[in-house]
Amino acid sequence: MSLQHSPEGHINRKILQAVAGAIRSIEKVAGALEEYEIGKDDAELLGSAMSDLWSILESNGYTIDIDTNRLKRTSP
């Protein structure tokens, strides 16, 4: 199942875990970006990708627990 073919409002947990993994990976890279000079366009693209990934989690009722760094369901 891919995000493109997922039914609206419900995404398979494995996909959500992959999204959470992507967020964690981008956060690691973003911390290292301070050492490099990146262009404004690249910085905006990175920010947009991160925003889209977070949107996928949040619209499905999930977040990443900051203490355990694991995917968890949000409280309603």
pLDDT digits (tens, 9 = 90+) for 11-69: 788 989 999 999 888 888 777 777 777 888 988 888 899 899 999 999 889 999 888 88
| Alpha-carbon torsion (15, 24, 28, 48), positive or negative | positive
Other CB atoms within 10 A of residue 50 CB: 15
Q: How far apart are CA 45 and CA 30, in angstroms?
A: 12
Q: How do the domains of the chain map onto residue ranges?
A: 13-64
User: pTM, whole model, 2 decimals?
Assistant: 0.73
